[in-house]
């Protein structure tokens, strides 16, 4: 993969950069849209940051209050002296929701962001208006096949990161986004993910656990890109089949981060879903 400077994405909506200060670190987040409208929290995939959703901001800010977040260890939310791990994101999210004067939010996550969103919903089900999942899986299910595949992938990440963070960033960009422009943007975001950031990722062990009899009362939309891994697509369909009332869409000509590969298609599907649950 050859890395080139990506074309900038122009965002028309006013965006305000805010921080949430914690012991030894700060979480950076960004607000836009109507302060009086329902709130959407966008949660990015591993190694990326809030800019993953640059092509969603204008579309959703017209009708909603929009928040994008740099999760711990990503973007400007550096690990610093933090003793917290990535699972503490649910506390950060709760503080952000309160800071917006809201009691509930819609959640739209991609990959790791879907895991954090579900974990928040597990702990705070009454605060979730809806959940949109792209490239994710049920954190409460029997995920042994996914765990085996993830362990193999982790070995690749670690080996590449040990020898060259640039090689690591090129690799994760290549498997996350299909388009060359999108890969360049993902690589740019991943430059903020450092070796120290891996420390925070260990908190995912608290997020992904087999839990029986977990019921969801919130509307659920499950999405997958048709160029994503076969396992990812199969798991998404299986989850939809097991979840009464959920909706499923396969986005054509899109990889793992379909919101970056096919933003207009993604935006349209999600907006229709949100309007249907109002």
- DSSP readout, 4-45? -PPPPPP--S--EEEEEEETTEEEEEEEEE-TTSPEEEEEPP
36-39: long-range pairs with CB below 8 Å, 24+: 36/65, 37/63, 37/64, 37/65, 38/64, 38/65, 38/102, 38/104, 38/105, 38/106, 38/129, 38/278, 39/64, 39/65, 39/66, 39/67, 39/97, 39/100, 39/102, 39/104, 39/105, 39/106
Place of tokens 């204008």: 58
At residue 226, the pLDDT reads 97
The residue ranges of every structural domain in the chain are 16-276
pLDDT in tens, 79-98: 999 999 999 999 999 999 99
Q: Phi and psi for 259 in degrees, rounded to 5?
A: -65, -25
**Could you tell me if 255 and 266 are in contact, meaning their C-beta atoms sit under 8 angstroms apart?**
no
108-164 residue pLDDT tens: 999 999 999 999 999 999 999 999 999 999 999 999 999 999 888 888 888 888 899
What is the model's pLDDT at position 3? 66
Cβ 258 vs Cβ 136: under 8 Å: no
Tens of pLDDT, residue by residue over 205-243, are 999 999 998 989 999 999 999 999 999 999 999 999 999
Q: Which residue's structure tokens are 């498997």? A: 175
Give the chain's mean pLDDT. Answer: 95
16-276, CATH topology level: Rossmann fold (3.40.50)
Give yes or no for a contact between 134 and 111, defined as CB atoms under 8 angstroms apart.
yes
State how far Cα 114 lies from the chain centre: 5
């Amino acid at each position: 993969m050859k890395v080139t400077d990506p074309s900038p994405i122009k965002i028309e909506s006013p965006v305000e950069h805010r921080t949430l200060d914690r012991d030894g670190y700060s979480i950076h987040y960004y607000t836009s849209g109507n302060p009086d409208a329902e709130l959407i929290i966008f949660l990015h995939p591993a190694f990326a940051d809030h800019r993953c959703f640059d092509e969603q901001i204008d579309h959703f800010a017209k009708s909603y209050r929009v928040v994008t977040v740099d999760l711990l260890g990503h973007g400007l939310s550096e690990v610093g002296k933090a003793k917290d791990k990535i699972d503490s994101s649910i506390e950060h999210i709760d503080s952000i929701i309160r800071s917006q004067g809201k009691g509930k939010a819609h959640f739209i996550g991609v990959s790791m962001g879907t895991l954090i969103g579900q974990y928040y919903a597990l702990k705070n089900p009454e605060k979730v208006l809806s959940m949109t999942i792209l490239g994710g899986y049920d954190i409460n299910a029997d995920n042994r096949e996914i765990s085996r595949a993830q362990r193999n992938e982790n070995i690749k990440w670690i080996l590449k990161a040990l020898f060259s963070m640039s090689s690591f960033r090129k690799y994760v960009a290549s498997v996350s986004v299909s388009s060359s422009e999108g890969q360049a943007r993902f690589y740019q975001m991943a430059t903020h993910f450092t070796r120290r950031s891996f420390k925070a990722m260990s908190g995912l062990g608290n997020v992904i656990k087999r839990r029986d009899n977990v019921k969801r009362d919130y509307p659920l939309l499950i999405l997958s890109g048709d160029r994503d891994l076969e396992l990812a697509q199969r798991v998404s369909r299986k989850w939809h089949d097991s979840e009464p009332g959920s909706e499923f869409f396969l986005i054509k000509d899109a990889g793992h981060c379909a919101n970056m590969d096919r933003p207009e298609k993604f935006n349209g599907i999600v907006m229709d879903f949100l309007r249907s649950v109002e």
